[in-house]
Amino acid sequence: MSEVIDVRSSVELPSKREAVTLVTDDGLKLVAELAMPVDRQPVATLIMLHPLPTHGGFMDSHIYRKAANRLPAMADLAILRFNTRGTESPHGKSEGEFGHGVAESADVRAAVQFAIDRKLPNLWVVGWSFGTELALKYAIDEPVLGAILLSPPLHRTSDEELARWAQSEKRLVALVPEFDDYLTPAAAAERFSLIPNIELIAIDGAKHLWVGEAATKRVLDEIVKVVNPGRYPLPETYSVD
């Protein structure tokens, strides 16, 4: 008999979870986890770049934890989360020291290479806050289909780096909270005007940290709409046999 689960808060739906180690080209070992659908191959892969570690960001930040808990089962996605160099979370601490968004270029390369080595399909990068800076700087040079930006602050991203995306065929989608602490939708439209093909989505009522189930569901819905639109919108319940 099936059990119907309300998909809320930190509910964890069925998935195959594997603790893995990423190895950077400068020799560091990074703590990571790969979450996969239980009984089928994923249709796409999300490589998650977390918020600023010096301000509490890590691979277990709530949107990323909930993505790993829900999306393998609900949207047939593989979720690769990891702690960038020097970052510690409940999953453990990665080697190295915080590199201010510069040395982390090797961390991004290591994550993408891991996904390639595992033959994971249709690679996408998802960045949140600081993670959007890494995505904008480095995903442009990686064999990914595109990047999805959550709360981009654009503190570390130069106009020259933004302009490179305007010349790329990679898809770029940005979710900008109405009440973001760093970059509001109006300011985002101005900064991102260098990239005419960007898809800017203003999220009414949301804040930088996407607190609350309504914000979580909206973020996950928008991600799924990009990478596996046949599973959009995500249901609010899930049946477990």
Domains annotated for the chain, with CATH where assigned, are 3-155+215-240 (3.40.50.1820)
CA gyration radius, the chain: 17
Location of structure tokens 């959550």: 150
Taking alpha carbons only, the member of 184, 185, 175 closest to residue 216 is 175
Instruction: Assess contact for 233 and 3: CB atoms under 8 A.
Output: no
- Say what the pLDDT of residue 121 is: 98
- Say what the pLDDT of residue 2 is: 78
- Say what the pLDDT of residue 10 is: 87
- List strand residue ranges (DSSP E) for 10-144, in order: 16-23, 29-36, 44-49, 77-82, 88-89, 92-93, 123-128
pLDDT exceeding 90 applies to what percent of the chain? 97
pLDDT of 1 higher than 90:
no
Taking residues 67-72, report their average pLDDT: 98
Taking residues 176-184, report their average pLDDT: 97
Taking residues 29-49, report their average pLDDT: 98
- Say what the pLDDT of residue 210 is: 98
139: helix, strand or coil: helix
Taking alpha carbons only, the member of 157, 219, 223, 227 closest to residue 188 is 157
Taking residues 148-177, report their average pLDDT: 97
**Residues contacting residue 41 through CB under 8 Å, at least 6 positions apart:** 76, 121
Taking residues 99-104, report their average pLDDT: 98
Taking residues 94-103, report their average pLDDT: 98
Q: What gap in Å lies between CA 123 and CA 145, rounded to an integer?
A: 6
pLDDT of 231 higher than 90:
yes
Tokens of 123: 């690679």
- Say what the pLDDT of residue 76 is: 98
pLDDT exceeding 70 applies to what percent of the chain? 100
pLDDT in tens, 199-219: 999 999 999 999 999 999 999
**Residues contacting residue 171 through CB under 8 Å, at least 6 positions apart:** 145, 146, 147, 199, 226
The type of residue at 206 is A
Please provide the average confidence, as pLDDT, over all residues in the chain: 97
- Using pLDDT thresholds of 50, 70 and 90, give the confidence band for residue 20: very high
- Which phi and psi angles does 98 have, rounded to 5°? -50, 130
pLDDT of 241 higher than 90:
no
